[in-house]
Amino acid sequence: MIDLANIVAIDFHTHAEEPCDCARDDGYNEFQAGMARYFCNPAGANGMLPSVERTAAYYRERKIAAVIFPVDAERETGFKRYANEEVARICAENSDILIPFASIDPAKGRVGAREARRLVRDFGVRGFKFHPTMQGFYPNDRMAYPLYEAIAAEGAISLFHTGQTGVGSGMRGGMGMRLKYSNPIHLDDVAADFPDMPIVMAHPSFPWQEEALAVCQHKPNTYIDLSGWRPKYFPEILVKYANSLLKKKMLFGSDWPAITPDTWLADFAQMPFKDEVRPLILKENATRLLNLK
């Protein structure tokens, strides 16, 4: 169990990137190299592939708890997914610092819904990560609703990538990735149809920042994690809302390993966030959302 008194922050957005017990698929190394270029990661593609165990050690050293997840995008990318059960097992071995989320392609329908229920009940999974651009679907497509119904029934959280993505950025045809799927306005329907399911919109949602803020203000069950961008690049309107109307709905997230918490937190310290808002973003809002108390 996480000792809340001993941690300084909760990172709501970290990736389990390395495929487990299988050779990397064709194109996977090129994909990771493109991501490293997009994020100006000095370690290059190899630095973007830490094991979950290494991630746990890194965060434990810094006294930061971390939500961690794979991304099931097999259908669109051809890359084998990191098994949800394996990620959850490693999280259980590092439960002092890691919080397990899973990922299921919503196109799996009832099979995916059954998997979601099993992961929550048998593996302690707390939420599910969706990447509409990588998974090739609009979040308000009714095809996804059986999976949402299972997640909502189990009291779990849904976390959606929103806005621009480093996936395929600068690659030929953007690696086939289509940005349109990740406009956060599509989550307005989901939040209305599943009012008791917490929904986290990941990242400053460039170029749809105001849509994300509008949904977050209007729907009580929605939140924003601030991952994927260094805070020094945050839009002014995002900082204003974080300091006021949405101060209890903003969550610290780094996007590890693309952006490290060290880098994110160093920028955050220089930004004009109010003193009373900083602990909310770094720890208190996530503590409440995850029901860790």
**No. of helices (H) and no. of strands (E), the chain:** 13, 8
Query: Whose structure tokens read 């204003």?
Result: 240
**Confidence class for position 162, pLDDT limits 50, 70, 90:** very high
Q: Is the pLDDT of residue 157 over 60?
A: yes
For position 175, what pLDDT does the model report? Answer: 80
Model pLDDT for residues 44-64, shown as the tens digit of each residue = 555 667 889 999 999 999 999
Instruction: Name the residue type at position 172.
Output: R
- DSSP summary character for residue 282: I
Across 72-84, average pLDDT = 87
For position 208, what pLDDT does the model report? Answer: 98
Q: Where are the alpha helices (DSSP H) in the chain?
A: 28-38, 52-62, 74-77, 84-93, 109-123, 132-135, 145-153, 186-193, 209-218, 236-242, 261-269, 278-279, 285-289
For position 132, what pLDDT does the model report? Answer: 97
Across 121-133, average pLDDT = 98
**Confidence class for position 169, pLDDT limits 50, 70, 90:** confident
Instruction: Kindly give, in sequence order, each residue whose CB lies less than 8 Å from that of residue 270, ignoring residues fewer than 6 positions away.
Output: 231, 232
For position 45, what pLDDT does the model report? Answer: 56
- Better pLDDT: 17 or 87: 87
**Confidence class for position 26, pLDDT limits 50, 70, 90:** low
∠ CA 7-292-6, rounded to 5°: 15
Beta bridge partners of 256: 14
For position 20, what pLDDT does the model report? Answer: 46
How many angstroms separate the Cα of 237 from the Cα of each of 12, 185, 232?
Answer: 21, 17, 13
∠ CA 157-187-124, rounded to 5°: 10
263-266's contacts with Cβ under 8 Å and 24+ in sequence apart are 263/230, 264/227, 264/230, 264/231, 265/9
Q: Is the pLDDT of residue 199 over 90?
A: yes
Set out the domains of the chain in order of their start, with CATH numbers: 4-289 (3.20.20.140)
Across 228-238, average pLDDT = 97
Structure tokens at 68: 């961690």
Structure tokens at 33: 């190299």
For position 77, what pLDDT does the model report? Answer: 85
